[in-house]
A and B are shown apart, each in its own frame.
Chain A
Amino acid sequence: MTEMRHSPRDGFGDALLTLGTKNKKVVVLSGDLKESTRCTAFAEAFPERYFDVGVAEQNMMGLASGLADEGFIPFVASFAVFNPGRNWDQLRVSVCYNKSNVKIIGSHAGFSAGPDGATHQGLEDIAITRVLPNLTVLAPADINEVKQATLRAAEVVGPVYIRFNRSEELVVTNPQEEFIIGQAKTIKTGRDIAVLTTGSMLGVAQKAVNKLSKKADIALIHHPTIKPIDRDSILDIARRVKIIITVEEAQLNGGFGSAVLEVLADKQPTRVIRVGVDDTFSQSGKPEELKDKYGIAQKDIESAILRAIIKK
């Protein structure tokens, strides 16, 4: 079977267009990155509800708060390094503390802006968003799941952050599949080891799990919701397997793996191997090269699984 790849951001663009048609309260703000963040179709269909705020992410977040306080559902879109990286204080106070119904879109997450270098690689956004009260944090895997996540986010009353990649990523979820915020998805059951993924690493992890399926009985569970994390799913699998591996395209410190560890440390201490970027800035390069160099490629997941097999 040939692999299908697509940029997850196109799922966001599709969903925005659907939302714009369905709900007149949906407005979109972009920080001079209309095309890169796939807001163009919405902007052309609904020019009166699209606003380019210029290169001014702090104001963008504040505007969205004001619009939401008057009943609109603003989507604010930029790269994850700027949004929520550049406007975190505005996200914290004007949106999260204020319980504003704002949807924050962090495109070009992880290594997907690879050639732009470390400045543009969104590796810290999970850590800085999942610490904020009232905020829902989503990291869908592929074009289909990004579309579903965006549609569902609009139904939540309250702030939601959605991170996704620019790079061409494996299409691994079904467009008809129901997306429920807060629920993990069991892709494959298994009794020895569980691999827990978030974001676009699902496709990569799936390949690693399939390759090593003869060596161990490996479960694969996908967490497109990072906050509120699906505690029940994590505790349930921790009771069934001996070792858990977490996989994310983000900094390990404060990231998805950390969230899993917090759940386990409280209720069900379990051995965990985390795959992610280990406390370092990256450099320019193709996304696949960077994943390889910084330890989050398929081979790194395989090696984590093999280590788990030895330890279990």
Chain B
Amino acid sequence: MTIFYIQKKAQNIRQSIIKMLLEAKTGHSAGPLGTADIFAALYFRILRHKPKQPNWSNRDRLILSCGHIVPVWYATLAEAGYFSKSRLSRLRALDSGLEGHPLKASVPGIENTSGPLGQGVSQAVGRALAAKLNNEDHQIYCLTSDGEQQEGQTWEAYMFAAKNRLANLTFILDRNNIQIGGFTEEVMPLEPLRAKLESFGMHVLETDGHNIKGIIDCCEEARAIYEKPVVIIAHTIAGKGVDFMEFDPNWHGKTPNSLEAKKALNQLRNLQGRIDYD
């Protein structure tokens, strides 16, 4: 898969997210849009996986810890062929399986259950420990948010991962600087985040979270680190791709109305919005 192809997939995922949120009228906008490039890079390059065999035992595991960005996961799984894209219109609808926060196996490809922040980080460490005990060589990736680092549980989990040298474990930390109540550095400062993570025994890499090549390169490098778990701090723009959502904490936890969705889709369509969406 070329970088250009993966970028196109990311734009498709963003369009699916906007359509899902418009239909559902409930959910989070900024985080899913901001992580679309990471999800596209994971599912169309980095992960070893088989969309038609979601339980294939040698698959790399992706654990989503910041469960509220699950629309990007559903959109990506549908884009990758785990299930039909037509199901996406029923986000958060009764009996759809597209739960507001992820429930393991509620639709094919959903690997874990999360929502209350911090829990997926521990689950991922447990998965990595299990792979080590079983002498299995698959990788465990865990997507975690920056706001989530305010939970004490994440640091408990990092200590355990470092103690047990779980080098098969890579966290991708979505550093978009916003959380539901505002900017992270105003709500509860995380910086110096890199130094904190390193002092907890993590090997830390950083990338522009919208640079597909940067994300891939970091994940490749992470596989080559044998002595420590890795955290990739992916610097992202919340709401990326939709100019009026970018950088704005107000879009963390709300959905677009039909006019906003139309504007968003125009920006996200190929040819940079020169084709009108209707």
Q: Is the CB of B152 within 8 A of A58?
A: yes
Expressed in whole angstroms, the Cα–Cα distance for A48 and B133 within the complex equals 8
Contacts of A68 in B (CB 8 A): 126
Q: Is the CB of A94 within 8 A of B156?
A: no
A281 interfacial by beta-carbon distance below 8 Å: no
A64 interfacial by beta-carbon distance below 8 Å: yes
7 residue pairs A–B, Cβ–Cβ below 8 Å: A51-B129, A58-B156, A63-B160, A65-B113, A67-B129, A98-B103, A98-B113
Interface residues of A, Cβ cutoff 8 Å to B = 27, 48-49, 51, 53-54, 56, 58-59, 61-72, 89-90, 93-94, 97-99
With most chain B CB atoms within 10 A of its CB, the pick from A53, A68, A72, A94 is A94
Expressed in whole angstroms, the Cα–Cα distance for A68 and B7 within the complex equals 36
> Helix, strand, loop or mixed for chain A's interface?
helix
> Helix, strand, loop or mixed for chain B's interface?
helix
The list of the 9 closest CB pairs from A to B, nearest first, reads: A66-B126, A62-B122, A70-B130, A59-B156, A56-B156, A63-B126, A98-B113, A66-B123, A66-B127
Expressed in whole angstroms, the Cα–Cα distance for A72 and B123 within the complex equals 13
Q: Is the CB of B113 within 8 A of A62?
A: no
Closest B residue, CB atoms, query A96: B113
Q: Is the CB of A72 within 8 A of B119?
A: no
Closest A residue, CB atoms, query B131: A70
B125 interfacial by beta-carbon distance below 8 Å: yes
Within the complex, the shortest CB–CB distance from A15 to chain B, in Å, comes to 21
Interface residues of B, Cβ cutoff 8 Å to A = 63, 103-104, 112-116, 118-131, 133-134, 152-153, 156-157, 159-160, 164
Expressed in whole angstroms, the Cα–Cα distance for A61 and B123 within the complex equals 9
Contacts of B112 in A (CB 8 A): 66, 69, 98
Given contacts A58-B156, A69-B112, A89-B116, contact A64 B130 (CB under 8 A): no
Closest A residue, CB atoms, query B115: A93
Expressed in whole angstroms, the Cα–Cα distance for A198 and B130 within the complex equals 36
Closest B residue, CB atoms, query A74: B126
Within the complex, the shortest CB–CB distance from A237 to chain B, in Å, comes to 39
Contacts of A51 in B (CB 8 A): 129, 160, 164
